[in-house]
Structures are given as structure tokens and as C-alpha cells.
Amino acid sequence: MNKQIKLAHRPVGLPEKSTWNFEENPIPAIQEGEILVRIDYVSLDPAMRGWLNDTRSYIPPVQIGEVMRAGSVGEVIESKHEHFKEGDFVYGTGGVQQYIATDGKGWVKVDPELAPLPMYLGTLGMPGFTAYFGLLDVGKPKEGDTVLVSGAAGAVGSIVGQIAKIKGCKVVGIAGGKEKCQYLVDKLGYDAAIDYKEENVREGIKQHCPKGIDVYFDNVGGEILDLALARLAMGARVVICGAISQYNNTTAIKGPSNYLSLLVNRATMQGFVVFDYSKRYGEAAKEMAQWIQAGKLYSKEHVESGIENFHDTFLKLFSGEKKGKLVLKVSE
């Protein structure tokens, strides 16, 4: 049987258990030109919260009754497709379920010998590519720049900070909790970390970014975005990657009151979507794999188990109870 998580209704605020339907359906049969994939791991990302809203965005929302969309890695267990054979490991948007029949469009092979499968959902997958292109192409850091990262211990943020260090920047991270902040400095090589739960973030930024912020990589939005805007250096680049603090809002999103700092400091605030860089994923994966092998880039996956635990695991994205890339193992 194929265990699946489907969208039962659109949540208001934080999703609840009743947001999802848990179903067991027969494993689909494949047609000529298709493959059957047994999904081993699914990716849990803050962006998934946005896909639940019935609003115009960069991709259509998940429809009620559909399997929840998610990135996934797994093994081809049956193939009637010329490019994939049984035993191939593949990455694609398989959704939160155990099996999928697909024509292979949008699926790519991955090598489990080169890196553990969950890493293809993290550093060598979307979050890694998001960090790589968002920082390097949008943020354009120069050696000696001060780079501030929010959500700094998360799947994207933890890679952003490390790449910025590789590029010779001073890197300051904002994260929640003493342990995460210590992890940023001790394990990821951040120059400093600010604990937004315990510290005054305004003072922290002032202290650790005395020359102002050249690149601010924003994963959180809200109050922290405003505090960062208030300390921009001349010609700063603000990279809008996400706004996790606002995703479960039941009221209007908080806009950045300090946006006129863009004018005063001749600064740029730019949004991006990683999908636009799909032709260059190979380039990013290759360079990041080299950094990992050279010990310059530490990849951290937080793996939970059991498709039944999808809801509770998903909430960990927003409660801050995890470090690095959140992944759910859905098949035994």
C-alpha cells in the first residue's frame, strides 16, 4: 500500500492535525514511459506553508485533496522508461507519500555513494542551491564585506553563512537559542551569533556589524528585517529569500517600516526564486560537493522517521526545534 498525506483544508495560521488527511491507497501501476519510485525521504521546507494558501505565487497552490507537494529522494523500483533503470536513485517533486508513478520529467539521478540521500534534499538540493545562488548571484558579497544572515541555523541559512566565510566575508548569524548560536560559531565558523530569543537584536547587530551590513540574507522577515534595514552600509544588498516569521500570520504581513533606509543607503532589496537557476544546479552541486570534501562546508540534516509523523515534524520548521535541514524518512 502507498501511504499518503493529502491536503484536507487550507489552514488559517499554523496548520493543525486536521489540515491533513492520511490515506492508504494501492501502489500505482506504471505505463509505458514511466517509472515507479519508492520515496525514501521527503524534504520539509518553510516554503511549503506558502503552497497551502490559495494565492497567486511563484507556483500554484496545492489543491484540496491533492498529495502534499514536497521534494523527495528515492529508488526506482520498476521502470518502463529509457533513461531510468531499476535501482537508480532519483530526486524529484514526489510529494509526501511512499510511492509515485511518473514519466520522469523533472526527476534527476543522484548518487548515494557520493553523499547520503538526505543531503540531496539539503546542501546538494534546493536549500543548498537557494543559499548558493541567493548569496552569490543576488547578494554579490565581496571579500571583507559584513554579511548578516537570519534563520542562520536553518537549512538555507547555515549554508549561506558558510559560503560567505569561504568568500572571505565577516559573517554574523541570527538564530533562536544559545545552543544554536554556539553551533553557528563553533561548528559553522560564523564570526558572531545573535540569539534573538535572549538578546537585544538591535544591540547585537550594532556590536557585531560596526561598519554596517553589506549583505543581509533574510529568511525571516518581520521585526528582524526592520532591525537589519536600520543598519545597512552604503550600497547594501538585501536578499529576500523568505519570511518564516510571517508565514503563519492570521493578520496582514508586517511590512518593513525602515525600507527608506534603502534610499538613504543607496541599497537594493531583491527577491528571487531558486527555480530560475535550474540550468545552473549542476555547477552549484559540483562546487559545494568540493567544499564538503575539502571540509570547508558542513552539511547538517535533521532526519525524523515515519510518514505518520508528518504533521508534528512539519511544525518543527516553525517552532525552531531543529538545526540544519529537516527531512522525513517515509519508507522503511
User: Where do contacts with a copy of itself occur on this chain (CB under 8 A)?
Assistant: 56-58, 221, 226, 240-243, 246, 252-273, 276
Q: Which residue has the cell 526545534?
A: 321
Beta carbon of residue 69, minimum distance to a copy of itself (angstroms, whole number): 17
Nearer to a copy of itself, 94 or 141 (CB): 141
CB of 45 to a copy of itself, least distance (A): 14
State the nearest-atom distance from the C-beta of 15 to a copy of itself, in Å.
19
Backbone angles phi, psi at 327, to 5 degrees: -135, 145
Cβ-based neighbours of 61, under 8 Å, separated by 6 or more: 51, 52, 53, 54, 55
- Alpha carbon distances (Å) from 102 to 30, 33, 35, 51, 61: 8, 9, 6, 21, 20
Q: Cα 178 to chain center, whole Å?
A: 22
Residue 57 DSSP label: -
**For a copy of itself, which is the closer residue by CB, 67 or 240?**
240
Closest to 30 measured CA to CA, from 76, 75, 78: 78
Contact 35, 27 (CB under 8 A): no
Q: What CA–CA distance (Å, rounded) separates 246 from 236? A: 23
8 Å CB contact between 30 and 80: yes
* Least CB distance to a copy of itself at residue 311 (A): 25
- The backbone region for 168, taken as left when phi is positive above 0, alpha when psi lies in -120 to 50, beta otherwise, is left
C-beta of 162 vs 265, nearer to a copy of itself: 265
Q: Which is nearer to a copy of itself, 121 or 236 (CB)?
A: 236
Q: How far apart are CA 90 and CA 260, in angstroms?
A: 46
Measured from the CB of residue 28, what is the shortest distance to a copy of itself in angstroms? 33
Nearer to a copy of itself, 108 or 234 (CB): 234
Q: How far is the CB of 246 from a copy of itself (least distance, A)?
A: 8
Our CA angle for 30, 34, 38, nearest 5°, is 70
Can you read off the three cell numbers belonging to residue 245? 516569521
| Of residues 236 and 328, the one with the C-beta less far from a copy of itself | 236
| Shortest reach from residue 27's CB to a copy of itself, in Å | 36
If the CB atoms of residues 67 and 269 are measured against a copy of itself, the closer one turns out to be: 269
